[in-house]
Each structure stands twice: as C-alpha cells, then as structure tokens.
Amino acid sequence: MHTSPAVLTRRSTIRLDPNDILVFPALVFLVGCFLYPLFFVLIQSFQGSLFGEYLLIWRTPVFLKVIALTFRTAALVTVLCVLLGYVYAYAMCHANRKLLGLLMITLLVPFWVSLLLRTFSWMILLQDTGVINRVLIALGLVDQPLHLIRNTTGVVIGMVHVLLPYAVLPMYTVMRKIDVRMTEAARICGAGEIRAFVRVFLPLSLPGVLAAAIMCFTLSLGFYITPSLLGGPSNTMIGQLIASEISDQLDFPFASALSVVLLVITAITFAVLGILMKGSRAKPKVAS
C-alpha cells in the first residue's frame, strides 16, 4: 500500500519543531497566571443574576462617576508624567557621564523605597502644617496654608511621583538610539535649535512617548494606596471601590463586574487610540 504525496505532505506539516517546546512553559504560565484568573473573574461577575451586576453599575450614577473620575485622573497623571519625563529623559541623553549617573541614581532610588512609605512621606510634606506650606508661608508667597492633601492635587502629586520613572525609562531608551547627526544636519541646513528639535528629534522619539503613556495610563487605573491616603471621599477611584466591595461588603460578584468593566473600557480606549494613530500615520504630511 502506497501513501500518496499529499498525505506525506500533510504529515510533514504537523511536525513540531523541537525549539517550539521552549514556548510551552511560558504558555502554561500565561494561561495559569493570567487567562484563568480573568476567566474566573468573568464567571464570578455573572453569579446571582445574569447581567444584574452590570445593570446595577449602569443605573447607579455614583459608580459611573467613580469610573469617569478614575479615567480623568489617569489621563491627567499620564500627561504630567509624559511631559516631566520627556524633559528628564532629554536631559539624560545630553548629559555627560557623571551627570548621567547622578540622574539615573535619582531616578532609580524611588524603586528601593516602599510605595506605602513614599505615600506617607507625601502626607507629611503636603499637609497644612507640612514642610511645603511652612516654606511658602515663610517666603511670603501665601498667607494661609494651601490645601494640598485630601483632594485631587494630592492624589495627582503622589501618583506622578510613583509613575515618573516608568515614563522616563522607555523614552530614554528610544532617545539614546536617535542619531544626533540628524539634528546636526538639520542645523547645517539652516534650521534653528527649536525647529530641528520639533521636526527631527521629536518625531523620532514619539514611539518612546507612546510606550510611556500606555504604561503610565495602565498602571494609574489600578491605584489604591495613593488615592486612599492622599485623596478624600470625592476622589475615590475604582481600585478603592473594588477593594471596598470585597473587604467591607463581601460582594464578590459586584467587585468582579467592576473589574471586568474597567478591563473592557481600558481595552476599548487603547483600541481607539491604536486606530487613530494608524490613521494618522497613513496620511503623509507635506513638509513646509
């Protein structure tokens, strides 16, 4: 009995490369530590009544307000981190070796300190009798202490301090790969410092800006400790609400529904951002 060439070809195509076996441990880890918990949370959100928890979120203005506040705070923190981080990363790229080492150490020191300890430090600095208000009053800049805590200002300051290194590192990684001779060529052709930066350096650094924005925005959506200690009741974010539903109310289905809503809205936001960026790249800009 002869085997047809088509069968032999089909058998050869299902052969597994021995190198592909190395992917299996990572795949098992991904399924066990990421996909299964997500699936469990999704199933948990439908317990009790089908779509009942999601309808409760949609019909309750308080929960919608918390979700909107979370995304608004995350967007504000992301913008500040990108702006401040871009300046810091740009300074690192153009610093000498000694200054670069100092900037790098300053950037990495916060990673060695507990997040809770850093937040408590900001509580001491930002309170009405804290160091910042005392210095401002001593300099005569203000007559009364500024309210820098238990509001959006305190939450944003604390979150920016935590997330700033996550914005600097991706942008610095991209900036250090940009050939400085391109900006020098732009200056030789008659462009000034600002024009050479805007037309040459800034577009080449945009991938790092995008990576920093995505990382900061994603991480800021799930903050819990910083808004709990530096914010007030009107600054409750969705992470605090989920924790409260689990620890105080023991309402696991509703907490799971909130988590799924947060995940879906985040995914939609990034999908829209990706479509807009892809569309902007498809339209070539004519240089003036």
3-class secondary-structure state, position 142: coil
For helices 152-175 and 61-93, give the axis angle rounded to 10 degrees: 40
Report the distance separating Cα 104 and Cα 106, nearest Å. Answer: 5
Residue-range domains of the chain with CATH: 82-235 (1.10.3720.10)
- DSSP state letter for 250: -
Query: Residue 45's Cα: distance from chain center in Å?
Result: 25
Residue 134 to residues 131, 146, 152, 247, Cα–Cα distance (Å)? 5, 10, 21, 38
Q: With beta carbons less than 8 A apart as the criterion, state whether 124 and 157 touch.
A: no
3-class secondary-structure state, position 60: coil
Report the distance separating Cα 237 and Cα 223, nearest Å. Answer: 8
Stated pTM of the model: 0.82
Three-state SS for 162-183 is HHHHHHHHHHHHHHCCCCHHHH
Report the distance separating Cα 92 and Cα 59, nearest Å. Answer: 49
Query: Residue 241's Cα: distance from chain center in Å?
Result: 19
**The pLDDT of residue 288:** 45
**The pLDDT of residue 56:** 84
Maximum Cα–Cα distance across the chain: 100
Q: Please state whether 250 falls in left (phi above 0), alpha (psi between -120 and 50) or beta.
A: left
Q: List, as one string, the DSSP characters of 101-116.
A: HHHHHHHHGGGGS-HH
Provide φ and ψ at 103, rounded to 5°: -65, -40
**The pLDDT of residue 163:** 94
Report the distance separating Cα 198 and Cα 188, nearest Å. Answer: 15
Which run of H or of E encompasses 43?
Answer: helix 36-45
Provide φ and ψ at 151, rounded to 5°: -155, -175
Instruction: List per-residue pLDDT tens for the chain, 288 residues long.
Output: 555 555 445 454 556 566 677 778 888 888 888 888 888 888 888 876 777 788 888 888 888 899 999 999 999 999 999 999 999 999 999 888 889 889 999 988 888 888 888 999 999 999 988 889 999 888 888 888 888 888 899 999 999 999 999 999 999 999 998 887 887 787 778 777 788 888 888 888 888 898 899 889 988 988 888 999 998 888 889 888 888 888 887 888 888 888 888 888 888 877 877 776 665 455 444 444
How many other C-beta atoms can be found within 10 angstroms of the C-beta atom of residue 242?
20
Report the candidate in 113, 75, 81, 28 with the shortest Cα–Cα distance to residue 209. Answer: 81
How many residues in total does the chain contain? 288
How many other C-beta atoms can be found within 10 angstroms of the C-beta atom of residue 263?
14
